[in-house]
Amino acid sequence: MSISDIVERRGIEEVLHFTTNLGLIGILDSRYLKSRQRLNRDERLEHIFSPNAAVRDKDSAWLDYVNLSISRLNNKFFDISRNRWHKGRPLWWCVLSFRPIILSDNGVYFTTTNNIYTDVARGARAEALESMFAPKIKQWPGMYVTRPSEMDPAWPTCEQAEVLYPGQVSTSSLQAIYVGGEEQLDEVYGLFAGLGHRELETTVQAKLFSNY
């Protein structure tokens, strides 16, 4: 079974990434969602560099990969990013939706849980993608996540499961942007015009942001 077969069978429709408005400016300007390592050396983006994670010392070997989620956000990480690392800053957040075709690109890795956890399983083939949907996922000794029988088949068992995309993801694969309110909607369309980027479907999806 191929990666595309799994995507079709499970009804996977999107691969997600959350970012700030500053991150969005850099993405639309450069036409790429870049890895942490590439952001660090991009002089054009230096003045707006605002990474989601303040420190990445626990997965330093993976700094040239973009962290993405399948079908649902890593809400735990989203909460920490918004309400701990960036709390009080004059920022707003959005969610990027990429077409699942990117999961078949060369060099993409799939993890069963957070990539920094001691018992994460990681691989770059179709069986690694399927393992994200296993009935039971081990995070570290004594800690497991069990898949409910009613869970959407497109959702990985652990919400912290990651797609690790090498280098950078082109916005040619970006299909939609989700924001929390009408004000942000207007700003995004202003960015399309100001940065000369093609317009993308952009909608208010308040539920994605309502728990934070």
- pLDDT tens, position by position, 133-168: 999 999 999 999 999 999 999 999 999 999 999 999
Burial pattern 15-47, b for ≥16 Cβ within 10 A else e, equals bbbbbbbbbbbbbbbbebbbbbebbeeeeebee
Amino acid at 116: I
Tokens of 57: 């010392």
What is the per-residue pLDDT for 193?
A: 97
pLDDT digit string (tens) for 76-95?
A: 888 776 666 555 566 899 99
Residue 126: how many CA atoms within 13 Å on its side-chain side? 10
Residue 2's identity, in one-letter code, is: S
Residue 10 phi, psi dihedral angles, 5° rounding:
-90, -10
Q: Using CA atoms, how far apart are residues 105 and 136, in angstroms rounded to an integer?
A: 27
**Does the pLDDT at position 187 exceed 70?**
yes
Strand runs labelled E in the chain: 15-20, 32-34, 65-70, 93-98, 109-111, 122-123, 136-140, 143-146, 163-166, 168-170, 174-179, 201-204
**Sorting pLDDT into bands at 50, 70 and 90, what band is 31?**
very high
The answer, yes or no, to whether residue 14 has pLDDT greater than 90, is yes
212: pLDDT confidence band, cut at 50, 70 and 90? very low
Return d(Cα 176, Cα 210) in angstroms, integer.
19
C-alpha dihedral (17, 21, 22, 26), degrees to nearest 10: 60
Buried b (16+ CB within 10 A) or exposed e, 117-151: beebbeeeebebbbbbbbeebbbeeeeebeeeeee
Task: Supply the mean pLDDT for the chain.
Answer: 90
- The model's confidence at residue 50, banded by pLDDT at 50, 70 and 90, is low
pLDDT, mean of residues 36-46: 69
pLDDT of amino acid 77? 81
Its pTM stands at 0.90
Question: What tokens were used for 154?
Answer: 């497109």
41 vs 201, more confident: 201
* β pairing state of 15-20 and 65-70: antiparallel
